[in-house]
Chain A
């Protein structure tokens, strides 16, 4: 008896008509990428479901532990293979159900006897397996329709296959199925969560971060690197573009009155992002903005900021509350990184009273005295690009 297979049920992809096979292919590639550190996995993608096979039970345990993060999967089940004897099947059934919570749960066994040579008829098999499970776990009761636990037994040519546990997947679409977009990553709570929502809809991410040394320090940068690393753990690698932003930010402060520097700074970020977008084949900009959260996130502000670009700006968090965002951040493991107390380029230079209703014409008027184009191009040209996940080598390995 061994667990050597995992059965995967697709998420929404089942409804995607002609694109279906490309979605399935994408999912298969993402699974390969996610588990590239493990031994060889055989992945067999069928129309309705996918099977992962491996001879290493340890590897499969890893797959089971990490698969709930991979998008495009509705649910999955470990499959146990046993030899073709009723005793082996009974033993396996007891072991499989033993891993689940049985107290007060309803239960049934179903059997597919594809191998007609097998010595017992279906009712006998049902009876034998069912009674050994029920006599072991007294909390179970039998229910034929919609039981909490259904143990499925498939008797094939060379072996029997059994499965009961159904583990929820992450849902959504396989990453990459939805194209690529550029996420503005600040280091705060919101932007990684916005990125996560888009990943879930199958969008691959490029990340852009604005770095203003010496006003922001290495710790703040480290924080962003750690966030980028987290965002690369959902089945697809990401590139982080670190933009040297100090000069642009200083120029803005020289040119525009204090209470609209924030609006103008954001407009510069958009313009830089637009340039990076062109070079990285992205089709949209993603931000973590949530309406009304801060001065820059009023409709008036968004209008004035958005005016610099015609690129679609996706704001998946626009209607969510801070508490919902915090919940998601905790769930995806970015919360503790985001709350580290280091300044980012948005929190320094913040004027005491930023305008919550900036006027576009005014902003344009003040910006109009100089051309920012050169500084923007310079920032784009001097950006640092880091690929994630980072190589896992521990720099202190020899020391420790």
Chain B
């Protein structure tokens, strides 16, 4: 076994394996890189408000949720008109302008409870 062969087998082969594993590990993360939140960095995104899906699935619901009874259309039923946007689960309306929340009148709910936390 010549020196070149020895180096190729005992140094080149392990290096190739390590590089392959490193590529498989780091590759996917580097590809879809999303600006990840880190504590302390400023938050420059628009405010966004997420709501649950309306409860009625359309079968004789008296809440007025879900007017569509067709199974194929949507699991949650569909709303029409003004509150169609409001009932979408991922309603990307900003809190102050447009979207679901601006259309609503404020309804103060008596003495409020809750908690506060910082990190």
A is bound by B: no
